[in-house]
C-alpha cells in the first residue's frame, strides 16, 4: 500500500516559530512502522496520484487561497478511487465556516455566528444582536487569522470601509469578540474519534490571535476531564470517521465552547512524541486495514 502525506509548497510565514517539522517526524515514524509513505504537494502537477492507495491530507496550509483548485483536486482523487483521509465530504463541509451553523443547529455550544455574503456590508446591528461592544470579522474560507479584523463601537466608522473592500471578494463570518481568548484557546486532538492530547495557545500581550506566527505561545497543561468530554461531543457528531480532528475553543464559565472544528490541515502538536505518533499510527491502521 502506497500512502501520500500531502503538504504544500512551504511558506516561511506558516512555519515561523515551529520547532518540530511535524510532517518529517510523522513520515519517519510511519516509515519505521513499515508503511510506504511518500511526501507530496497537493498541487504538484508531476505527482502521479493514480499510484497511491491512500492520501492523507496533512498540511496543505495554502488551500484556502486556492479553494476551487483544491476541491477539484479532491474530486480527482475520488475519481481515481484513492482513499482520502480525512474523507472528501468532510473536508468540503469544513472548508466554509457555515459548518459552524450546522453544528449549532445540533444544539452544541458554538460561539454565536452570523454570515455576510460576498458583496454585503457590515452594519451596526451586530453589536446589539450579540450584546457586545466588540466584533470579530473574518473570511468564511480562511486559515491562520488571514484578514481577520476586530471592530468595536469606537473604531467602527474607521474600519467600515476596509471591511467593505474585503467583503467585495468573499463571504465573511461575524462573531462577538470573546474576552476569554486572552486566557488561551484550547486544542483537543482526536485520532479516529479517540482523544489523544491537547495544547493551549495563548496570544501575546495586546493581541487576540493565538497563532505562533502572530506571536502566540503554546503550552501543554493538564486539561479538565470534563472539557475533554465536552470537546469529544463535536467529534461524535460527525457523520463519518476521521483520521484526525482538532477541536478548538475557549472555556467560558468552566464550560468548553467551540470556536473551530479543524478537519482539513490542523497542526497536531505531535512534537516528536513517540506516544502521540503511536496514537496517530493506530488510528490510521484502523481506517486503512
Residue 152, H or E segment: strand 149-152
Q: Is residue 43 part of a domain?
A: yes
Q: Is residue 108 part of a domain?
A: no
> Is the pLDDT confidence value at 15 over 70?
no
Q: Is residue 106 part of a domain?
A: no
- This prediction has a pTM of 0.93
Instruction: Specify the number of domains making up the chain.
Output: 3
pLDDT computed for residue 204 by the predictor: 65
Based on the domain organization, do 205 and 235 belong to the same domain? yes
Do strands 83-85 and 54-57 pair parallel, antiparallel, or not at all (unpaired)? Answer: parallel
CB atoms within 10 A of CB 141: 18
Based on the domain organization, do 220 and 276 belong to the same domain? yes
Based on the domain organization, do 161 and 221 belong to the same domain? no
> Is the pLDDT confidence value at 77 over 70?
yes
Among the listed residues 63, 88, 76, 87, the one whose alpha carbon sits nearest the alpha carbon of residue 9: 63
pLDDT computed for residue 147 by the predictor: 81
The CATH number of the domain holding residue 60 is 3.40.50.20
pLDDT digits (tens, 9 = 90+) for 97-127: 999 999 999 999 999 999 999 999 998 999 9
User: And the C-alpha cell for 82?
Assistant: 484513492
Based on the domain organization, do 129 and 169 belong to the same domain? yes
Last residue of a domain, one of 177, 200, 220: 177
The CATH number of the domain holding residue 185 is 3.30.470.20
pLDDT digits (tens, 9 = 90+) for 178-227: 989 888 999 999 999 999 999 999 876 655 555 555 556 899 999 999 99
Q: Is residue 187 part of a domain?
A: yes
The CATH number of the domain holding residue 154 is 3.30.1490
Nearest-Å Rg of the Cα atoms of the chain is 19
Based on the domain organization, do 239 and 153 belong to the same domain? no
What's the whole-number mean pLDDT along residues 56-72? 95
Structural domain including 143 reads: 114-177
Amino acid at each position: 500500500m502506497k500512502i501520500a502525506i500531502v503538504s504544500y509548497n512551504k511558506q516561511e510565514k506558516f512555519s515561523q516559530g515551529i520547532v518540530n517539522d511535524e510532517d518529517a517526524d510523522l513520515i519517519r515514524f510511519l516509515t519505521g512502522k513499515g508503511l510506504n509513505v511518500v511526501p507530496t504537494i497537493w498541487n504538484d502537477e508531476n505527482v502521479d496520484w493514480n499510484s497511491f492507495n491512500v492520501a492523507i491530507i496533512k498540511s496543505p496550509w495554502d488551500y484556502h487561497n486556492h479553494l476551487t483548485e483544491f476541491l477539484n483536486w479532491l474530486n480527482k482523487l475520488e475519481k481515481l478511487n484513492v482513499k482520502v483521509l480525512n474523507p472528501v465530504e468532510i473536508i468540503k463541509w469544513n472548508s466554509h465556516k457555515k459548518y459552524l451553523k450546522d453544528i449549532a443547529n445540533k444544539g452544541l455550544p458554538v460561539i454565536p455566528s452570523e454570515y455576510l455574503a460576498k458583496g454585503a456590508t457590515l452594519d451596526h446591528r451586530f453589536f446589539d444582536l450579540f450584546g457586545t461592544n466588540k466584533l470579530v470579522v473574518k473570511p468564511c474560507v480562511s486559515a491562520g487569522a488571514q484578514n481577520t479584523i476586530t471592530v468595536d463601537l469606537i473604531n467602527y466608522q474607521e474600519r467600515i470601509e476596509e471591511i467593505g473592500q474585503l467583503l467585495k471578494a468573499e463571504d465573511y463570518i461575524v462573531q462577538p469578540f470573546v474576552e476569554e481568548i486572552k486566557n488561551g484557546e484550547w486544542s483537543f486532538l482526536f485520532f479516529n474519534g479517540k482523544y489523544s492530547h491537547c495544547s493551549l495557545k495563548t496570544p501575546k500581550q495586546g493581541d487576540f490571535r493565538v497563532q505562533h506566527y502572530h506571536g502566540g505561545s503554546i503550552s501543554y497543561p493538564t486539561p479538565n476531564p470534563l472539557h475533554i468530554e465536552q470537546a469529544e461531543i463535536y467529534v461524535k457528531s460527525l457523520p463519518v470517521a476521521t483520521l484526525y480532528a482538532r477541536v478548538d475553543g475557549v472555556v467560558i464559565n468552566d464550560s468548553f465552547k467551540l470556536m473551530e472544528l479543524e478537519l482539513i490541515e490542523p497542526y497536531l502538536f505531535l512534537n516528536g512524541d513517540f506516544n502521540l505518533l503511536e496514537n496517530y499510527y493506530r488510528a490510521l491502521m484502523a481506517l486503512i486495514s
